Amino acid sequence: MNKNKVLCECLKGLLAFEDRFEQVPDRRARWLGERLAWHKVLPLAAAIQDPGKPKCRTLADILNKANLHNMMREEHYFRQVRSLFSALDQWEVEYVPFKGPFWFVPLYEAYHWRHIGDIDLLLPKSDIPKATEMMVALGYRPHYLSGGLEQELVGGRGELAFSPDPSRPNDVVVELHWDPMPSPRFMRRQFLSYEDFTRRTICGQWRGLSYAMPSLEVQFLYLVLHATCQHQFMRFVHVTTIVHYIQRRFHLNFEEVFELAAERHASTPLFYGLSFANAFWALPKPLRELKARINVPLKSRLVTKLLSPRSIVQGTDKKGTIRRNLFRTAISW
C-alpha cells in the first residue's frame, strides 16, 4: 500500500481511538513516526496502541518511547501550571486558562494523550502590566515584538509570550492573551472576544486544579476557527480535536454553535471546519443537516477547493503554503 495511504489509515484510526498500525512495514516505521510527530498526534498514537495487535518492532519502540516521554512531560507541565495558578492568585490577577489540559482532558484518559505545548492563559487587558511584572519576578523573559509592553498592548497581536528561566529546562513557554482570537491574522474582523470567554463560564478541573472556562459552545467554535482561520488545518491534530469534541462533549449544543457563528459572521469557517473533519470521519446526521443550511459564497467554494484533506495528510511547513493562504483568504470573504 502507498505510504501516504497507510498514514491516512493510521490517522483515521486515531479518530476512532483504534490501533491501525499493523499495516506499517518496518522500513516505513521511522517515517511514520516522524509524520505522526509532525501532525502532533504521536502522543495519541502511542497512548491508544493495542499491545495485542501485531506491529513491527521499530514502530512499537517508537510508540512506547513517545508514551513514556509524554507522561514525564505532563508531570513537569502540571507542576508549572500549579505554580503559575498559585502566583496569579497571590498577585490577584484574573485569568481563564484555555486549550491544553484545561479543555481537552475530558476527551482523553490523561493529558499526555495530547501533544503538550505552551501554557495559554486569557487575561483582561488591564491586568497584563501586573501579570508581566509577576512573570518577570518568577524568572520568565517576555518576548516583545513591537518594542515594549505599551506597544504590544496598543498594536500587538493580542498575546505576549514568556520564556522560562534557562535553569528550568523542563518548563514550557507561557502565553498571556488578552485577545483570544484576532480573527484571520491579516483581518480586523473579530469573531470571538474576551467577553465571550468570561460572560458565561463553567467550572473545569484537572488533577485537583479548579478553574473557570467558557461554555462548550464557545470552546468548540473557537477551536474550529483556530483550525481554519489561524492554521488552515496544517496539522492533523486540528481534525482530531474537532472530531473528539463532537464525539465526547455530550452536552454541546450545536444549534447554539451555529447561531453564534452566524451572529459573528463566522459561518463559512465553521462550514469548512466541519467539512474537513467529515472528510476523515462521518459527521452525525443532525450536524450534517445544520452544516447544509450554511450558504457559502461561490467564490469561497471555488478557491477553498485548492486545499483538500489530502493536502493535510501530505503537507509540511512549506508544502501547501500557497494553498493554505488562499484558503484563509477565501473563508474570510
pLDDT tens-digit map of 147-190: 788 888 887 788 999 999 999 999 999 999 998 875 444 455 67
> pLDDT at position 79, please?
98
Nearest-5° Cα angle at 176, 172 to 178:
160
> pLDDT at position 186, please?
46
Pick the closest to residue 328 from 220, 223, 183 (CA basis).
Answer: 183
Question: Letter for the amino acid at 120?
Answer: D
The Cα 202–Cα 221 span in angstroms is 16
The Cα 209–Cα 97 span in angstroms is 11
> pLDDT at position 187, please?
53
Please compute, for residue 103, the number of CA atoms within 13 A of its CA located in the half-sphere on the CB side: 25
Structural domain boundaries, residue 185: 3-330
Beta bridge partners of 142: 162
Cβ distance 330 to 299 under 8 Å? yes
> pLDDT at position 191, please?
87
Q: What is the 3-state secondary structure (H, E, C) of 218-260?
A: HHHHHHHHHHHHHCCCCCCHHHHHHHHHHHHCCCCCHHHHHHH
Q: What is the pLDDT of residues 73-84, one digit of tens each?
A: 999 999 999 999
The Cα 129–Cα 150 span in angstroms is 9
> pLDDT at position 121, please?
97
Structural domains counted in the chain: 1
> pLDDT at position 150, please?
87
> pLDDT at position 6, please?
93
| Phi (first) and psi of residue 112, to 5 degrees | -70, -5
Show pLDDT as tens, one digit a residue, over the chain (333 residues). Answer: 688 899 999 999 999 999 999 989 999 999 999 999 999 999 999 999 999 999 999 999 999 999 999 999 999 999 999 999 999 999 999 999 999 999 999 999 999 999 999 999 999 999 999 999 999 999 999 999 877 888 888 877 889 999 999 999 999 999 999 988 754 444 556 789 999 999 999 999 999 999 999 999 999 999 999 999 889 999 999 999 999 999 999 999 999 999 999 999 999 999 999 999 999 999 999 999 999 999 999 988 999 998 988 888 888 888 888 888 899 888 877
Task: Find all residues with CB under 8 Å of 85, minimum gap 6, and list them.
Answer: 209, 211
